[in-house]
Structure 1
Amino acid sequence: MSDNSAVSFLYAKEILSKGQQCLSKAYAYIKSQCMDGEGKLSSELLDNYQYSAYELAYCSAEFSAASFLIDYAEKLHKQKSGGQDIIYEQRIAMMFCAEVVQNARSKLSLRLLDYGISAALYEQTLNHPELNLFCQEQLQTCHYVALGEQLIQQEGYIADPQLGEDINIMREAFQKFSTDVVMPLAEHIHREDLLVPNEILQPLVDMGCFGLSIPEQYGGLQADGEEDTMGMIVVTEELSRGSLAAAGSLITRPEILSRALLAGGTEAQKHYWLPKLASADPFCAVAITEPDYGSDVASMKLKAERVAGGWLLNGAKTWCTFAGKAGVLLTLARTDADSSLGHRGLSMFLVEKPASDGHEFRYQQPSGGVLSGKAIATIGYRGMHSFDVFYDQVFVPDDHLLGGDAGLGKGFYYTMAGFSGGRIQTAARANGLMQAAFEQGMNYAKERKVFGHAIADYQLTQVKLARMAILLTASKQFTYAVARLMDAGKGQVEASLVKLFACKTSEWLCREAMQIHGGMGYAEESAVSRYWIDSRVLSIFEGAEETLALKVIARSMIEAADVE
């Protein structure tokens, strides 16, 4: 590779382009095999290609991450002056680019027929001699070792994320809060399965955290008529660094509810509820998932029957995080009994209840209806409690139907609007968790000695730390890039891609940090054991990994593919 950095970045982009050619061909092939007699994409036929589609979706996520990382490194390099040496950020970008290409080769090379990729196309793209040389040069062990040594010398500092002064000030404030307040409480909350205490909640209320996605005209912090996805991401990232459950996920529910209200609420509902949500009075929870239906939102069964002055809700919801502490539940219910309507028969309700700090709650309405819940015992993600919630003749007044009568049958769309920022926010949560794990792994490697040397002195540890830094940097820059797209009204597919990438990466990175700790990593008293356990939930909530890859990412890519 040329020492000329401009040439190097261009070369890396060309390498990625060759890989993308293979992916595009594979998507087009699957599309050609899955068209029905009316020329439409058949979901039933697509199910015959689930494994291939899943692998392609993850390849697409990695290629997108690599492309954004190259752009970031190129921008940063232009701002620096000095010698001709390949700088730190450029090295990270080039090595990640090579890893992504190598991963794609591993997934596709042995099953070219499954993807409709000819041997000739494979030789011209993913197995091109220039591409082989690029991977061999970039993935040499000496580069990982040099990067690991540099990280150790820099106390784990990776690079300037290039987010601007205002965002940096916000980050510093929440980073300090996370370090000083959240981290000292996090382990006790986790081990005792406690509810997040007021020592964490009240300062976040005072700092306006719960109004980050609410416009100023409704009492929030977001400038009217503008999106501030980046601010939400940075706050989420830093709080998740302290604790995923006891801090990092606290602003998710008010964001979902506020986005749903902004998308479909009446003006009266917006003016009443949004200021309350911004001040966390009350806290809120989301009741979407049902015992038999998770990501399959269109099949939800909880029934809402119209009565004088309102609606009666009957049925059950599950995995309702923070439902005990919440004073209002955003509840998706079926208002039209005709099951053939699917998602068009769903509506959204705001169901009020008293707040409860326990693992169980039971609220009997004056009308006789009962809303009850019981916390689900979980191996991690502790601090907010996730509940099974039961609706027995629960009365909801007409003005608590989101959007009023105009909102009937639009619950699915309001759900999608509410969750529009959820995927990128989950990526931010994954990044915060990874940052905490990386810091713990780095510190322990420098302090712990085996066979007369610090663990950090060994080549294998240096390679581990280097790969952790590479993937963490890629995930963060991917997330920031998608945030900019979303603030410009774009990036919905990219939000799904970054969620898929960041969450899987978090599992690997937290596992490696745990491994660096050896036996202590398996002890409850070590924070890394909590990080690894918590990382497992990231690929499950906000759209299960498989559903996200198949039903959202792969399907959108296949639909957009050009069939020759």
Structure 2
Amino acid sequence: MTDVAAPPVTPDLAAAAAALDVGQAVIDSAVGRLAEHGIDANQVLAYDVAHAAAALMCGRGLLDYGSKGDDEGRITAAFIADALADLGAKLFGREAEWGVANDALDNARDFVATYRASDFLASLANTDGPRHLGDDFEMVQDAFRRFAEDKIMPIAEEIHRHNGDIPEEIVTGLAEMGAFGLSIPEEYGGYASGGASDYIAMVVATEELSRGSLGAGGSLITRPEILARALEAGGTEEQKQEWMPKLATAEVMNAVAVTEPDFGSDVAGVKVTATQTDGGWLLNGVKTWCTYGARADVLMVLARTDTDRSVGHRGLSMFIVPKERGDGHGFELTQENDSGGGKMEGRPIDTIGYRGMHSYEVAIENWFVPADNLIGLDGGEGRGFYYQMAGFENGRLQTAARAVGVMQAALEAARDYANNRVVFGENIAEYQLTQAKLARMAVIIQGARQYSYEVAKLMAKGEGAMEASMVKAYVCKAAEWVTREAMQIHGGMGYAEEYTVSRLFVDARVLSIFEGADEVLCVKVIARQLVGRHNADK
């Protein structure tokens, strides 16, 4: 058995960068194979490459963070070593499929051996590392952390266990803090000035509220995001002036109605129709997974305005659909119109987690929408798919921030339990296995957090669409492992609802499903973008 040398106090970041280059060469080879042989014919490879590339990209984004101190360096080295080990697990025995030699990762072996060593990992059990936020962002963090701890955490378990509604005082409290205006431009009553600070503030606030509760906190302030971005992408000036100030103050809360029973991520197949009538449009059809649909004052509905289904997504338009607030456990609404009356019925979909928001299947029959509520008016007809995508890009970054908040809560719960649980005469926090688990959790969380900040900066420059997809894919899958291990550290009590960690586990499970299901995101979005960059660089 070969002894592994103790890692230096200050990790060698040049060696970390070199190890990443070794891994990146493997990724590049596999992407070349996908470009040559096709993504759809090699979906397993595409999926694995997307996740491996996302992890390495997060690792590369950590290099600057790692240069800021010893703890930061150790976290960075551990994260990169873990990402390379995961790549190795995907690669082993499939080298030919990836287009590389059997020894493709050998030059990274020593680095991985050093920074995945059990004792090294265990030494990081209580090392979170500083966030290196500026003073302004620390104020944002402190404000939203206090709100989460004072207002959300005391009710989070009750909402989860009883599938309750989010109390209105939570909505009004966040509105008073300006939370719903974080993504709304200043000229429309919000706080966004157009720089990187807008995006980072949203990431910070979302994480802290999600640490309190995914359903009753972090996801609540993301409500305006997709509609606001759709309006920015295609709305008329009058539409922006009408809706954005109301979104910023929570005078109007919105929900998104895009998914349909037979069409999830494949939105080009949308069947809900919008037919022109005097003064507007009549909507007919069924939407599903409309989260917060009962409480919402308007639905953002993607509907088919061109009955020729062969035109695909080019026949879709986006509507702002006003409605009355309904009951959280189901609603039936009616309206009078020239067609004899419109109907909208929301059937709640019971879920194992992510409670408080409530999701619905919404049946719409002859629901009248004024002509002014077609985003972009005549110029927006057939552009709905693009407006939706503009909103979802930012939504993926926010989802990553939500995942980080859930993971942080899980880590804190696991540490607290480990330090107070005695097994065989010793706190379980003293066992190497527990320490290694806690360390890997902390490393993953800080890596995900720091890369989210980097993606936020890219998006502020109008870039980072692929990176937002990648950070979402990596972080949301990681959240399942982190919350699972936090639950495991609790032992039998982790399976009991009286401990918060059980809620965190079931909440984390939804993260790889919404804002783009993991498989679709990896195969249809990330892999295609990687191949696109590969072809452009040839």
Task: Provide the secondary structure at the position in 2 that maps to 1:294.
Answer: coil
1:60 and 2:33 equivalent?
Answer: no
Of residues 389, 395, 418, the one that matches 1:416 is 389
Which amino acid letter does the alignment assign opposite residue 105 of structure 2?
A: L
What is residue 90 of structure 1 aligned with on the other side?
73
Task: Provide the secondary structure at the position in 1 that maps to 2:92.
Answer: helix
What is residue 31 of structure 1 aligned with on the other side?
35
- Do 1:217 and 1:224's aligned partners in 2 also have CA atoms closer than 8 Å? no
- Do 2:207 and 2:404's aligned partners in 1 also have CA atoms closer than 8 Å? yes
1:73 and 2:79 equivalent?
Answer: no
Which amino acid letter does the alignment assign opposite residue 116 of structure 1?
A: G
Which amino acid letter does the alignment assign opposite residue 76 of structure 2?
A: A
Task: Provide the secondary structure at the position in 1 that maps to 2:164.
Answer: coil
What is residue 501 of structure 1 aligned with on the other side?
474
Q: Normalization by structure 1: what TM-score?
A: 0.91
> 2 CA distance for matches of 1:107 and 1:226?
35
Q: How does 1:134-173 map to 2 (within 5 A)?
A: 134-148=111-125, 151=126, 158-173=128-143
The C-alpha deviation readout for 1:440-491, integer Å capped at 9, x for no partner, is 0001111111121111111111111111111111111111111111112211
> 1 CA distance for matches of 2:236 and 2:529?
32
- Measured after TM superposition, the shift of residue 66 of structure 1 is 0.9
The C-alpha deviation readout for 1:263-282, integer Å capped at 9, x for no partner, is 11111111111111111112
- Do 1:195 and 1:357's aligned partners in 2 also have CA atoms closer than 8 Å? no
Which amino acid letter does the alignment assign opposite residue 482 of structure 2?
A: L
What is residue 126 of structure 1 aligned with on the other side?
105
> 1 CA distance for matches of 2:122 and 2:195?
48
Q: How does 1:261-272 map to 2 (within 5 A)?
A: 261-272=231-242
The C-alpha deviation readout for 1:191-210, integer Å capped at 9, x for no partner, is 01011002311110111111
What is residue 253 of structure 2 aligned with on the other side?
283
Of residues 81, 84, 98, the one that matches 1:115 is 98
1:219 and 2:189 equivalent?
Answer: yes
Structure 1: which 5+ runs fail to align?
Answer: 35-45, 78-86, 152-156
Structure 1 pair 557/356, CA: closer, same or farther in 2 (3 Å)?
A: same
Q: How does 1:177-188 map to 2 (within 5 A)?
A: 177-188=147-158
1:307 and 2:286 equivalent?
Answer: no
What is residue 39 of structure 1 aligned with on the other side?
none
- Measured after TM superposition, the shift of residue 527 of structure 1 is 0.3
Q: How does 1:378-457 map to 2 (within 5 A)?
A: 378-457=351-430
What is residue 212 of structure 2 aligned with on the other side?
242
Q: Bigger CA drift: 134-143 or 461-470?
A: 134-143
Structure 1 pair 225/179, CA: closer, same or farther in 2 (3 Å)?
A: closer
Q: How does 1:348-387 map to 2 (within 5 A)?
A: 348-367=318-337, 368-387=341-360
The C-alpha deviation readout for 1:12-38, integer Å capped at 9, x for no partner, is 10111011111101111221123xxxx
Which amino acid letter does the alignment assign opposite residue 306 of structure 2?
A: D
What is residue 199 of structure 1 aligned with on the other side?
169
Q: Bigger CA drift: 451-460 or 335-344?
A: 451-460
What is residue 44 of structure 2 aligned with on the other side?
51
Task: Provide the secondary structure at the position in 1 that maps to 2:166.
Answer: coil
- Measured after TM superposition, the shift of residue 438 of structure 1 is 0.4
- Do 2:196 and 2:457's aligned partners in 1 also have CA atoms closer than 8 Å? no
> 2 CA distance for matches of 1:445 and 1:295?
40
> 1 CA distance for matches of 2:215 and 2:113?
41
- Measured after TM superposition, the shift of residue 95 of structure 1 is 1.7
Which amino acid letter does the alignment assign opposite residue 96 of structure 2?
A: L
- Measured after TM superposition, the shift of residue 109 of structure 1 is 2.5
Q: Size of the alignment, in residue pairs?
A: 529
Task: Provide the secondary structure at the position in 2 that maps to 1:395.
Answer: strand
The C-alpha deviation readout for 1:282-310, integer Å capped at 9, x for no partner, is 21111000000000011111011111111
> 2 CA distance for matches of 1:293 and 1:145?
46
What is residue 41 of structure 1 aligned with on the other side?
none
Task: Provide the secondary structure at the position in 2 that maps to 1:525.
Answer: coil
Structure 1 pair 98/285, CA: closer, same or farther in 2 (3 Å)?
A: same
> 2 CA distance for matches of 1:138 and 1:219?
49
> 2 CA distance for matches of 1:246 and 1:30?
41
Which amino acid letter does the alignment assign opposite residue 462 of structure 1?
A: Q
Which amino acid letter does the alignment assign opposite residue 101 of structure 1?
A: L
- Measured after TM superposition, the shift of residue 260 of structure 1 is 0.8
What is residue 316 of structure 2 aligned with on the other side?
346
What is residue 99 of structure 1 aligned with on the other side?
82
- Measured after TM superposition, the shift of residue 362 of structure 1 is 1.2
- Do 1:242 and 1:436's aligned partners in 2 also have CA atoms closer than 8 Å? yes
What is residue 331 of structure 1 aligned with on the other side?
301
> 2 CA distance for matches of 1:356 and 1:369?
15
> 1 CA distance for matches of 2:33 and 2:424?
55
Task: Provide the secondary structure at the position in 1 that maps to 2:531.
Answer: helix
- Do 1:57 and 1:554's aligned partners in 2 also have CA atoms closer than 8 Å? yes
- Measured after TM superposition, the shift of residue 226 of structure 1 is 7.2
- Do 2:410 and 2:501's aligned partners in 1 also have CA atoms closer than 8 Å? yes
What is residue 82 of structure 1 aligned with on the other side?
none
Structure 1 pair 225/307, CA: closer, same or farther in 2 (3 Å)?
A: farther
What is residue 518 of structure 1 aligned with on the other side?
491
Task: Provide the secondary structure at the position in 2 that maps to 1:147.
Answer: coil
> 2 CA distance for matches of 1:142 and 1:113?
34
- Measured after TM superposition, the shift of residue 5 of structure 1 is 5.2
Q: Bigger CA drift: 50-59 or 196-205?
A: 196-205
1:260 and 2:230 equivalent?
Answer: yes
What is residue 475 of structure 1 aligned with on the other side?
448
- Measured after TM superposition, the shift of residue 372 of structure 1 is 1.3
- Do 1:59 and 1:104's aligned partners in 2 also have CA atoms closer than 8 Å? yes
The C-alpha deviation readout for 1:396-437, integer Å capped at 9, x for no partner, is 110111111111000001101121200010000000000000
> 2 CA distance for matches of 1:146 and 1:63?
23
- Do 1:69 and 1:477's aligned partners in 2 also have CA atoms closer than 8 Å? yes
> 2 CA distance for matches of 1:418 and 1:94?
34
Structure 2: which 5+ runs fail to align?
Answer: none
Runs (4+) of structure 1 moved beyond 6 Å?
none
> 2 CA distance for matches of 1:476 and 1:224?
22
The C-alpha deviation readout for 1:492-526, integer Å capped at 9, x for no partner, is 10101100010011000001111111111100111
- Do 1:215 and 1:225's aligned partners in 2 also have CA atoms closer than 8 Å? no
Structure 1 pair 548/313, CA: closer, same or farther in 2 (3 Å)?
A: same
- Measured after TM superposition, the shift of residue 116 of structure 1 is 2.1
- Do 2:79 and 2:444's aligned partners in 1 also have CA atoms closer than 8 Å? yes
- Do 2:195 and 2:460's aligned partners in 1 also have CA atoms closer than 8 Å? no
> 1 CA distance for matches of 2:357 and 2:34?
42
> 1 CA distance for matches of 2:518 and 2:72?
30
